[in-house]
Structure 1
Amino acid sequence: MIARIWKGKTKIEHLEEYTDFMKVRAIPDYSKVDGFIKLIFLKRTDHNFAYFDLITFWKNMDVIKGFAGNDFEKAKYYPEDKNYLIDFPENVIHYEVFAE
């Protein structure tokens, strides 16, 4: 199993709207992929920003490549993300899950 980790940041005033957007758009999108196992979506705030960590779990790297394309280390964004995100990290990080 492979874990794919993405990090994002929004203005604090976009916290709830972006959270709702991810529930409606991203989570169903990931869930449709054959070989997708599960995800964990984390959020935290400080006085100015909301921070998001998305950890998705996949059967293997071939499944991730089918979802993200051959350049699988690049982050995948939705057109609507430009309405919320402050920056667009170029890459995600992958880890092999060796124990649960």
Structure 2
Amino acid sequence: MICRIWHGRTRAESADAYAAFLQRRAVPDYARVPGNLRVQILRRDDGEVTHFLTVTHWASEAAIRDFAGEDLLKAKYYDEDADFLLELEERVRHYEVL
């Protein structure tokens, strides 16, 4: 099993709206992909900035490829992300789940 972790930051005043967007748009998009085993959104408020982690578990690299494309470590963004995020980090991290 592979754990895929994406990180993003918003301004604190946008955090609630971004969290709602993730639940409405991103979580169902992940969940629709065969081989996606779990989706979690983590949030940490840090003064004027809020950090989000999207933590997903996948059955295989092939399943991740069906979601993210050929470059498995390239972050996937939605058009709306630009309205919230302070930057668009290019890469995600993968970990093997033991």
The two structures share one fold, judged by TM-score above 0.5: yes
Distance in 2 (CA, whole Å) between partners of 1:11 and 1:86 is 7
CA RMSD of aligned residues (A): 0.6
State percent identity of aligned pairs. 43
Deviation at 1:69, TM superposition (A): 0.5
Aligned residues: 98
Counterpart for residue 58 of structure 1: 58
Q: Which amino acid aligns with 1:89?
A: E
The within-5 A match list for 1:17-32 is 17-32=17-32
Distance in 2 (CA, whole Å) between partners of 1:44 and 1:26 is 18
Distance in 2 (CA, whole Å) between partners of 1:87 and 1:79 is 13
Secondary structure at the counterpart of residue 6 of structure 1: strand
Name segments (4+ residues, structure 1) moved above 3 Å: none
Distance in 2 (CA, whole Å) between partners of 1:78 and 1:89 is 13
- The reply on whether 1:45 has 2:65 as its aligned counterpart is no
Using the TM superposition, name which of 77-86 and 65-74 deviates more.
65-74
Counterpart for residue 91 of structure 1: 91
Please, what TM-score do these two structures have when normalized by structure 2? 0.97
Deviation at 1:46, TM superposition (A): 1.6
Listed as ranges, the gaps of 5+ residues in structure 1 are: none
Q: Which amino acid aligns with 1:84?
A: F
Listed as ranges, the gaps of 5+ residues in structure 2 are: none
Distance in 2 (CA, whole Å) between partners of 1:85 and 1:35 is 28
